[in-house]
Structure 1
Amino acid sequence: MDDDRLWGFEQSLWIEGPENYREKVDPEVVMVLPRPPFVLAGDAAVGAVADTPTWDRAELTDRTVSRPQEGLIVVGYRVRAEKDGHAGYEAWCTSTIRRIEHEVWRVVQHQQLPALDQEG
């Protein structure tokens, strides 16, 4: 997956809603989210993100990409998400995405650390 497609894939998880999560998040995913129970896996993780807001806009900055082996991509970034024209959420995030088959990728790990201030 090239970088443009990769960042479009990641951004879609912020702005496209629950059906998109179910399509792009692996059933064996592990997530760390900023609310109890904090560490979630599998269906519980997918359900937790499916219950979060679908943002109108999500800006992904401070991007970094690692490809430690064929079919495995790790990203880190800062997200600034908005809804109805108002800043709603800022966090530092990581995701690990693996290739399932040709052109089919799934998130197998995701973590969010809320940004503590507006400057980073």
Structure 2
Amino acid sequence: MDDDRVWSFEKSLWTCDADHYRELVDDECLMVLPQPPFVLSGTQAIEAVASTPRWSQIEISDERISRPQEGLIVIAYHAKASREGEAYEARCTSTYRRLEHEVWRVVQHQQTPPLVTPAAEVSG
């Protein structure tokens, strides 16, 4: 999968409907998200997406791609997403594995929102 397709694939996971998400996320996927239950299986993530409004816009920057072996792609990036007056920002990683020619599935995804340092630590 070339770089442009990788980023198009990743953006679609933020904005497309649950059926699209179900098609691209592997049942064995593990996700770490910044809200309970924090760690989800692929099946749990798909169920969560089905009942969550999709993001209307996603901006990806600071993109990194690694291909550690044939059929495996690891990406890292900074995401800024928005929907209906709500904004979200996180550093993210995803890992894709190829099942067959041109068929890829997400097997790992994590999101880390900006870390906030408590005021006592900053001034202390």
Name the TM-score, length of structure 1 as normaliser.
Answer: 0.90
Alignment: residue pair count: 116
Question: Unpaired runs of 5+ in structure 2?
Answer: 117-124
The CA distance in 2 between the partners of 1:22 and 1:31, in whole Å, is 14
Q: Return 42-51 or 4-13, whichever deviates more.
A: 42-51
CA RMSD for the aligned pairs? 1.4
* Aligned residue number for residue 67 of structure 2: 67
User: Could you give the per-residue CA deviations for residues 85-114 of structure 1, whole angstroms, max 9, x where no partner exists?
Assistant: x45110110000010111100000000001
The question of 1:18 aligning with 2:30 is answered no
Q: Return 71-80 or 86-95, whichever deviates more.
A: 86-95
Question: Unpaired runs of 5+ in structure 1?
Answer: none
* Aligned residue number for residue 38 of structure 1: 38
Q: Is the 8 Å Cα contact of residues 55 and 81 (structure 1) preserved in structure 2? A: yes
Structure 2 SS opposite 1:48: helix
The CA distance in 2 between the partners of 1:75 and 1:50, in whole Å, is 24
Q: Return 90-99 or 52-61, whichever deviates more.
A: 52-61
**Which amino acid in structure 2 is aligned with residue 110 of structure 1?**
H
1:47 deviates by 1.6
Structure 1 SS opposite 2:5: helix
Q: Is the 8 Å Cα contact of residues 80 and 87 (structure 1) preserved in structure 2? A: no
The CA distance in 2 between the partners of 1:83 and 1:42, in whole Å, is 23
* Aligned residue number for residue 51 of structure 1: 51
The CA distance in 1 between the partners of 2:104 and 2:78, in whole Å, is 21
The CA distance in 2 between the partners of 1:52 and 1:112, in whole Å, is 16
1:3 deviates by 0.2
Residue 100 and residue 43 in structure 1: after superposition, are their counterparts in 2 closer, same or farther (change >3 A)? same
* Aligned residue number for residue 83 of structure 2: 83
Q: Is the 8 Å Cα contact of residues 56 and 83 (structure 2) preserved in structure 1? A: yes
Percent identity reads: 60
Name the TM-score, length of structure 2 as normaliser.
Answer: 0.87
The CA distance in 2 between the partners of 1:52 and 1:63, in whole Å, is 26
